[in-house]
Chain A
């Protein structure tokens, strides 16, 4: 499995959006926030950010009827958090004024917080379901991994199938990850809890501001025509 696949996908999406955006810039200039394209960017970014804020949290709470793995939802959370924030940034049209400017800043803060949290999160070992593993379980997995490494280094044995280079690299990566997780587990868990305490309220502030901004925009730009 490709490491940080969601980051790569997000980068691809950002590059694609940037290409389209530059095309528009060259053709007609920087799209204003109040224009059709600017509004479209804002609405789409807002929806992605709203999905970022809600879907992952809902999945975490949906223990009785889970749908999809926690890791997949986290990857989606990260993807929409990056792409949505980028769209919001483009929506601003390089103008940062008033509440809208604050909102852009808040978006940047929350995304930055998310990046930090993402790396704290990866420091905490978890199952495919994302459940935090106990130290003992990690140690057992580490021992199994080390045994596997020794077996691989000894070369093919009778009855076994030689591992490919890709399988070798994955096994080594997993081993290193587990060793790092074990070493950082204690402080990481404390740091992750602290980060949650900051990141989630920041997200709430972001969305309160976003709703007010959208309401004000609709009021002044639509209702008062």
Chain B
């Protein structure tokens, strides 16, 4: 029976060997070109690299792009070995390849062996991070990303080449008038200012750049504020101070400074909303309800005096009586809201003064030059009829008239001794105080016992402590030490100081017996005994 050997027949093995040898020979003869999956591109770049204008010029030099695996090189290394400009882009991180391509990922975007006319870039540019080129495609979404743009719309010649005319081509169609004017204003270099996000169009978020466009600002043409700016730096250098653009609009002529935004908004000049608190004159009370022009007459915003009188001189019911400011007594809530404190005046109100009506002291609304003396108001109430002068306060307090504290010691007749206990009327009868005599005799009649021997100078012998004891130092016609009297007047003068008797000590009977020879004048002992002695001295 015929039993086939299968594929391992002798002829098959011979065929395999011959095939292997043929392939080896062909590979050697073609420089491994037989393994090429397709022809190399004939597309040429802007310039030849080392005499090679296109990859097809490399012919069978497979190693030009395919280094031996033991060489340590990758195919990407071979790419940049020839395309030095791309190596520079990668190194510097700019251009089409900068920040995106490396020598490890060339083949992610590029290919070869697809035929002589085939493109070498097969990248799906929908995934290309275009923002790394410095221009985002937010406003120009690619067709693959839901938009309508193709790469060639902006890069008709090469993806590495961008001509600004590509912008003009579309934007002239969109709005020719605007495009022409915009180009005239800012120049032809679109990408100098625009990066795809900063479209400066309807969707541009000016606020993200630190200057929110609202109100009137939102309606302006860019050039109004960015006049002459042709670069991003110049656009960003546009001043943001109000005055830089609105100096000519300043109706205040600089009087209010340069911070327009403190009062005005971009909605319009008329919508000023000054927070008066930021000024030196914070508004409160009635001031909040008056029109600005009530104080800022003729729209005079600066130089308004901050004193009350600056505005309220005509409102002064006090007719300029007060040199002080209105606010010392009144608040902004109304003239009737008076905060005047008499305590701060030169005449603090105390006692009954505190409850007195203002008009009692200030009749007719007269405040200035109101007398501060007691008599200024109380002259008609002086029960003393001026006897004590005009300084009521010397004796009386402000509580009531009856609350007086006269100090007699301060008078010309300080009260001492028994005088202290005497009633006022005993000396000042009939309420008479002024002219009260200060001599003793004016109040004290000389007693009969004195006869008229001592005169009116009571104080020569008496003190105010009492009539007794009294002191008498002479002159005395008889020795006051006689008989051990020791100054006790009553020893010799038991009844009257102008009479004397010796019989208090000298028995009268004995004296009569002894002076029987004397028949007359026996009672006048001192006539014969002036010195008190027996012998006649």
Contact = CB atoms under 8 A, between A and B. Distances in A.
A201 B64 CA distance: 37
A32 B5 CA distance: 38
B135 interface: no
Given A60-B4, A60-B6, A100-B37, A225 B15 contact: no
Contacts of A140: none
A204 B75 contact: no
A89 to B, nearest CB: 15
A60 B2 CA distance: 11
B12 A203 contact: yes
A138 to B, nearest CB: 16
B75 A97 contact: no
B67 interface: yes
A57 interface: yes
A147 interface: no
Q: Which of A54, A58, A63, A95 gathers the greatest number of chain B CB atoms within 10 Å? A: A95
A191 interface: no
Interface in B20-56: 20, 23, 26, 32-39
Interface of A is mostly: helix
A205 B16 contact: yes
A98 B36 contact: yes
B1 A131 contact: yes
B278 interface: no
Interface in A187-224: 193, 196-197, 200-205, 207-209, 212-213, 216-217, 219-220, 223-224
B23 A220 contact: no
B66 A57 contact: no
A216 B62 CA distance: 13
Contacts of B8: 57
A224 B66 CA distance: 7
A99 interface: yes
B7 interface: yes
B74 interface: yes
A177 interface: no
A191 B448 CA distance: 203
A131 B4 CA distance: 11
B2 A201 contact: no
Nearest to A132: B2
B200 to A, nearest CB: 38
B38 A224 contact: no
A6 interface: no
B123 interface: no
Nearest to B65: A224
Nearest to B111: A34
A22 to B, nearest CB: 22
A103 to B, nearest CB: 10
A99 B35 contact: yes
A220 B35 contact: yes
A74 to B, nearest CB: 12
Given A97-B38, A99-B26, A99-B34, A204 B6 contact: no
B13 interface: yes
Given A54-B7, A99-B23, A205 B15 contact: yes
Nearest to B24: A212
A196 B4 contact: yes
A208 B23 contact: yes
Interface in A16-69: 32-34, 53-54, 56-58, 60-61, 63
Interface of A: 32-34, 53-54, 56-58, 60-61, 63, 95, 97-100, 102, 131-132, 193, 196-197, 200-205, 207-209, 212-213, 216-217, 219-220, 223-225
8 contacts: A34-B111, A95-B38, A97-B37, A197-B11, A200-B11, A201-B14, A204-B12, A204-B15
